[in-house]
Structures are given as structure tokens and as C-alpha cells.
């Protein structure tokens, strides 16, 4: 959404809300949320989680928000609680499904699992730099993030056409996955060595080994 807004995330919410003629319909359950959106009726579907804000706008999320008020403390973050329940139901489904376990044990899935944390660390920076440049080129750095016209309305960046998206999105994911893999190969080992050095510096070699042995003994007794 940041890239789609041309980097002007500050005005994205205002832009979306201004399109009052566009109707949004959402149908979901806890374990497999799905959103349907279209100018008239349900024309396309995308995966959708419980919303962070304005849960009362749709019947399904309003019902869930009402039910959770009897379970969680007042003022708690309902969206995090609901998403956690949905994720737990999904994990239980995977645990009891042999086909799901077989799929998630595939080497490709294992590879994606190994690079998932580096992806989490670097994806936002790459979206705001590489992906934005791929989609908007010179417009991304010539207009600025807070560019407005003479009436104070936001001026969005000049977005590329359909072919630009067809080429740029796969290329971005290739770059992201490659850099995440390089992170696991070159950065993670150095971080592990740095942490081990700090542990030896603070606890000492003998003390560190004693702590490990004591922890292991405690786990075995438990």
C-alpha cells in the first residue's frame, strides 16, 4: 500500500476515504479471513485479517469485537487477540493434517522458513527504496513525499503501467529473497559470534558452561 500510494503514506488514508463510491465487503472467519472488494459487488477476493481500526464498520468484525469484550480486559488490543486466536486455530489444523505437514516440510518451505526473519528485518527498507524506485523511477525522488498542489491537495507520484508492475514485482521479490539469503549466510554467523563473545566477556568461559549445564540439569529434572 505504501508503494501504491506513491510513497505518500501520509495521504493514503485520506485518498482511500475520499473514494466514497467504492464499496468494500468483507466476509471472514477466524481461521481463513477473506475480503471481497469491488465497485459494485464481490468482484475479487484477497486474504484479509481482522482490521486494526474501525472494526465496527463491517458486520463480521463488529460481531467479533462485541464478543471479545467479554473475554479480554478493557482497553486491550482486540485485533492482536483475535489474530492470535485465528493463528492458533490455523496451527492446530496444520498439526492434525498430514497433507499440510508434508507440504510445510518441503525443502522450499524450509528455505523460506530459514530466511523469514531476515525478510522481516529488511523488507520495509527495500519497499521504501528499491520497490518504490522500480515502480516510479524519477518520480520517486523528484516530487518528494509531501508534495501538494496550489490547493493543498496531495500530488501522487507518476505510477508505471501494467507492464511495469508485471516486471517490477517479481524482480523485487527476487532481490528480497536473495538479500535475505545473503543475510543468513554472512550476517547471522557474525552476529552469533558477537553474541558469544559478549557472553564470554560478561560471564566468562567457565561460568557460561556452568550456566548451560545448570539449565540442562533443570530441564532434565523437570
2-17 mean pLDDT = 45
Average pLDDT, the chain: 74
pLDDT at site 108: 93
Poorest-confidence range of 41-45, 75-79, 147-151?
41-45
pLDDT at site 188: 92
pLDDT at site 186: 94
For residues 33 and 87, the answer to whether their CB atoms sit within 8 Å is no
**pLDDT tens-place string over residues 107-134:** 999 999 999 999 999 999 999 889 988 8
Nearest C-alpha neighbor of 130 from the set 73, 170, 185, 96: 170
- pLDDT category, 210, cuts 50, 70, 90? low
Higher pLDDT, 6 or 106: 106
HEC assignment per residue over 193-207: HHHHHHHHHHHCHHH
60-85 mean pLDDT = 83
179-204 mean pLDDT = 91
Helices (H), the chain: 9-18, 59-68, 78-95, 98-104, 107-114, 116-126, 132-136, 138-142, 162-182, 188-203, 205-221
Residue 78: which residues within 8 A CB-CB, separation 6 or more? 50, 55, 64, 65, 68, 72
pLDDT at site 113: 92
pLDDT at site 53: 74
Phi, psi dihedrals of residue 215, rounded to the nearest 5°: -65, -45
176-205 mean pLDDT = 90
- pLDDT category, 10, cuts 50, 70, 90? very low
Percentage of the chain surpassing pLDDT 70? 67
Residue 42: which residues within 8 A CB-CB, separation 6 or more? 25, 36
Percentage of the chain surpassing pLDDT 90? 26
> What's the rounded Cα separation, in Å, for the pair 119 and 183?
9
pLDDT at site 17: 52
Q: Is the pLDDT of residue 84 over 70?
A: yes
Name the range with the highest mean pLDDT among 72-76, 137-141, 143-147, 195-199. 195-199
Amino acid at each position: 500500500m505504501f508503494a501504491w500510494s506513491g510513497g505518500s503514506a501520509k495521504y493514503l488514508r485520506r485518498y482511500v476515504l475520499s473514494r466514497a463510491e467504492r464499496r468494500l465487503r468483507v466476509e471472514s472467519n477466524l481461521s481463513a479471513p477473506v475480503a471481497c472488494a469491488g465497485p459494485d459487488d464481490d468482484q475479487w477476493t484477497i486474504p484479509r485479517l481482522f482490521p486494526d481500526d474501525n472494526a465496527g464498520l463491517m458486520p463480521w468484525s463488529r460481531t467479533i469485537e462485541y464478543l471479545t469484550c467479554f473475554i479480554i480486559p478493557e482497553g486491550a488490543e482486540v485485533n492482536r487477540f483475535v489474530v492470535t486466536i485465528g493463528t492458533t486455530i490455523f496451527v492446530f489444523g496444520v498439526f492434525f493434517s498430514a497433507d499440510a505437514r508434508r507440504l510445510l516440510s518441503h525443502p522450499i518451505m524450509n528455505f523460506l522458513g530459514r530466511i523469514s526473519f531476515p525478510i522481516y528485518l529488511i523488507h520495509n527498507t527495500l519497499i521504501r527504496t528499491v520497490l518504490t524506485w522500480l515502480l516510479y523511477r524519477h518520480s520517486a525522488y523528484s516530487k518528494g513525499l509531501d508534495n501538494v498542489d496550489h490547493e493543498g491537495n496531495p500530488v501522487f507520484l507518476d505510477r508505471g503501467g501494467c507492464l511495469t508492475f508485471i516486471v517490477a514485482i517479481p524482480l523485487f521479490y527476487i532481490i528480497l529473497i536473495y538479500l535475505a539469503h545473503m543475510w543468513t549466510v554472512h550476517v547471522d554467523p557474525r552476529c552469533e559470534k558477537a553474541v558469544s563473545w559478549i557472553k564470554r566477556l560478561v560471564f566468562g568461559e567457565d561460568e557460561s558452561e556452568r550456566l548451560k549445564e545448570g539449565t540442562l540439569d533443570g530441564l532434565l529434572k523437570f
